[in-house]
Amino acid sequence: MTIPSAEGFLQASSCLPCTAEEERELVAALAKEAEENVKDGDLRYLVSQSWWLEWQQYVGLVRHEENDTEQLPQAMNRPGEIDNSKLVSAETIVGSEEPELQRTLREGQDYTLVPQEVWRRLYEWYKGGPEISRKVILDSHGAHKSYIVDVYPLCLKLIDGRDNSERNIRISRKAKIHELYSMVCSLMSVEQSEIVIWDYYQKSKSKKLSNLNETLDEASITMDQEILLEMKLDGCSTGSSTRSTNNELALIPLGPSTSSFSIAGGPTYSNGFSSGIGSSFSQDNSFSPLLRDSTDGYNSFSNGTKDDTHGLSGLHNLGNTCFMNSAIQSLVHTPPLVEYFLEDYSREINTENPLGLQGELAIAFGELLRKLWSSGRTSVAPRAFKSKLSRFAPQFSGYNQHDSQELLAFLLDGLHEDLNRVKKKPYIEAKDADGRPDDEFAEECWNYHKARNDSIIVDKFQGQYKSTLVCPVCNKISVTFDPFMYLSLPLPSKVTRMITVTVFSGVGDALPMPFTVTVQKNGNCRDLIKALTDVCCLKSSETLLLAEVYDRRIYRYLTNPVEGLYTIKDEDILVAYRLPVGHEKLLRLEILHRRADRFAADPQFNINRKLIGCPLITCIPNDSTGKSDIYAAVSAVLVPFLRAKAHGPDVSAVKLNGNGPSLDGIVLTDNGTTSEGRLSTSSGDDNAVDDELLPFQLSLTDEKGIVRNPINTDSNHVLGLVMRVSMDWSDREREMYNMDYMDELPEVFKPGFFSKKTRQEAVNLFSCLDAFLKEEPLGPDDMWYCPGCKEHRQASKKLDLWRLPEILVVHLKRFSYSRYMKNKLDTFVNFPIHDLSMSKYVKQTPKGAQQPMYELYAVINHYGGLGGGHYSAYAKLVEEDNWYHFDDSHVSSVNEDEIRTSAAYVLFYRRVGGSSTVADGVPIDIEMVDSLETAPQSKQMSI
């Protein structure tokens, strides 16, 4: 649809739109203009998602289902007033004209962001409120610039040191410190030269906010935090008060629309990936002051007692940060990383790499690791680390829930770039194998990779796999060797589902019959057709055409054999038509059914007449499209539905040219039998069909059965491969044919009281590896350009593990996302804890090296589903040989036999007998750790 400009709309009319279509197009034009001209300081308004959906339905934008490609017809009623009451809380900020937002709102679920002009128009048309606006701000990280909407500005508690009075202020987290000073001076009627503002986290002076060009986010100022106003002259002290719960939410990225028609003022996601895994399940949002101090919660105390145990520190949940905590705990219990960051790693900080954070992320992670290993059992709040991580990967800013494995991937990549020993990456042109042995080519590729990427992360975490592509046409083989940081293994689910399909005959030799088959839940249409072929005893000369019926018409044909069965829902109605092999070369005749009565002569009635029954499918030769051919084909396919009393001379009294249409030697006769030969023809008046002798009335129609055009005697022009005709059913047809067999078809699956519930069966890690490494064709959307054919081909792909890393990270793909659905698999995966032998899977083992044997040392768990969940981690202390459960700030011992659960999401293995002394099981130097307790903890490491 072409969207007119907003200026054109506004010039055309300043009054309310008369139709829903005008509203839709005007809003679209305004939104498009706002997105193309977005700038710092623009306003975006929050609109209740429930009201927004009502408006979208009214203007014809909401669809029935996710997989419905057609728009709904316009709703009859306009929505009522805009109701944003559920978005705001009763509490308000003193001095603020805007209400306070609820703290658990999410874009796309609770609210939608619209530009200012869109809000103005919606308010003119519908009224309501309250009005909630937020500013668009420019977010710049080096060369990366983007616009974000500060949906949840910081709410800070300002404490006046002169009289211990408190007041709340609201300011953007991207505001500079000098803007905070200006706001405070204006509110408190003081001069900036007379005051000092302190980071007063947990009622303790953390640091003086003196860097005026630093943002509040960079200064690690968080939601609901206290800041202290202190006069330079009198130096009054502050009182004490309780701290509010830290539950900050997100900055919403605002970027170009990913679709041609966007009226939400920005993308529908919040903070990038995994909004579907969001969760408000925070288990530790209330903290004890004893467990915190001024620098990220580090404290030399251990709950008041001396504890010589190291590596058992928890991480405070800052608000939906359990996904981050679980990944951090797994990494800080990785022996080679512990050894590396406890030593002096500053010499490897890369401050010149534009792909990193100039070493700041590595320094923040190193300091956090040292605190976790030197604070006994004291919990730590990773505020500074989260701030640095958010700068490297802005999608993790704010406090929405995210995917732990995704964060792990970004964190490892960020640490690598900050610690890359290569200061200036050389340009290396990719080369082909040119028939060289795999050993030689793989080593060359690895050396090229190391020439540009050389860090502790590459040394310990990166392996290499071989990728082989084979062209299905010219058999061209392409081999590449690529590095990997982790293995994402699919879960070969053994869950099955029952699918009922009604099978119709396309040649008129049998009545329709429903068949119920059992197939793999994660299977495809090829699996379903194979199961149906077996159960209905299909002949070698026949094939099945699978289709979905909706609203008494063919909704879609399922002709793609690799289309997943997840697109088929239990309430759908599936049919299959038995057709001759090679029917794709013939013209498909689709027969729809409509009710006929005394109003049949009324053209308006014909338009509004509803369809009945189920469509029938048959095939006719492409050159046999005359009236007699069409009637003969329809007569043939209707034969099984003839009532017993109707079998007589009247049925065959129709004057047709021959017995029926020929299908490549197969002639479909009017009695359902087949005979050899071609359709006989005659000339002259014999070609005419006497309408009075026709047993039923047919007309050409469209896919919805609305259009009704007469059928020509000689031939009928067809656009495409399908000819659709509608058959009128009067009392005469109902007496002749039994339509009950076409009506009330069974659904795909209708659970009953005694229906058997599907059960998740356990799989082992090796079957996941087999599924990952098996050869399979590329998808239609992932075609490979064959250098031999010079064409894009659906090649077959085979992966092989060539070189394994010292630390093997295994990601179990429990979450699946598609256009049609989102799903989480709770399949129990039986994974080895000791003696994981990879010799069967790795293709390259260095001479004299031991067989690749691995031992588990950490696990990231995910509990719950897509709508809400929680992450935790199991980790092993190597020096103790004991396992512990790290659940945010709570740390507890756990037996080894308890760590295998269906919640396991990411597995961490270390190679036994590796090059690192830590990896070999030598205890970590405790004296080195103990020395950290008395060492000063600075915010910046000298580099």
Peptide bond into 805 cis (omega under 30): no
**3-class DSSP state of 527:** helix
Catalytic residue among 155, 322, 445, 525: 322
Token pair for residue 634? 């329809």
Q: Which amino acid is at 427?
A: Y
Q: Catalytic residue among 316, 862, 870, 885, which?
A: 870
Nearest-angstrom CA–CA distance, 808 and 893: 24
Nearest one of 630, 631, 635 to 670, comparing CA atoms: 635
Q: What is the DSSP letter of 170?
A: E
How close are the terminal C-alpha atoms of the chain, in Å? 57
CB 355 within 8 A of CB 417: yes
Cα(65)–Cα(73) distance, rounded to whole angstroms? 14
Give the count of alpha carbons within 13 A of 152, CB side only: 27
**Greatest pairwise CA separation for the chain in angstroms:** 117
Q: Would the CA dihedral through 254, 260, 263, 267 be positive or negative? A: negative
Q: Is 322 one of the catalytic residues?
A: yes
Preceding omega of 130 cis (within 30 degrees of 0): yes
d(CA 323, CA 456): 24
Sign of CA dihedral 680, 685, 690, 693: negative
Q: Which DSSP symbol is given to 515? A: E
Nearest residue to 292 via CA among 234, 337, 226: 226
Residue written as tokens 């008046």?
A: 685
Compute the distance between CA of residue 315 and CA of residue 330 in angstroms, rounded to an integer. Answer: 12
Token pair belonging to 159 = 């404490």
The helix (run of H) or strand (run of E) holding residue 449 is: helix 438-452
Residue 871 has φ and ψ, to the nearest 5°, of -110, 145
For tokens 């923040």, name the residue.
364
Q: What is the secondary structure of 753-808 as a DSSP string?
A: TTPPPP-PPPEEHHHHHHHHHS-EEPPTTS-EEETTTTEEE--EEEEEEEE--SEE
DSSP string, 118-145: HHHHHHHHH-EE---EEEEEEEEETTEE
Whether 876 and 894 have beta carbons less than 8 Å apart is answered as no
CA angle (354 as vertex; 353, 358 as ends), nearest 5: 60
Structure tokens at 729: 């059913």
From 771, 722, 718, 708, select the one nearest 589 (Cα to Cα): 722
15 is catalytic: no
Report angle CA 602, 603, 605 to the nearest 5 degrees.
65
Residue 381 and residue 226: Cα distance in Å, rounded?
Answer: 16
Q: Which residues are catalytic?
A: 322, 870
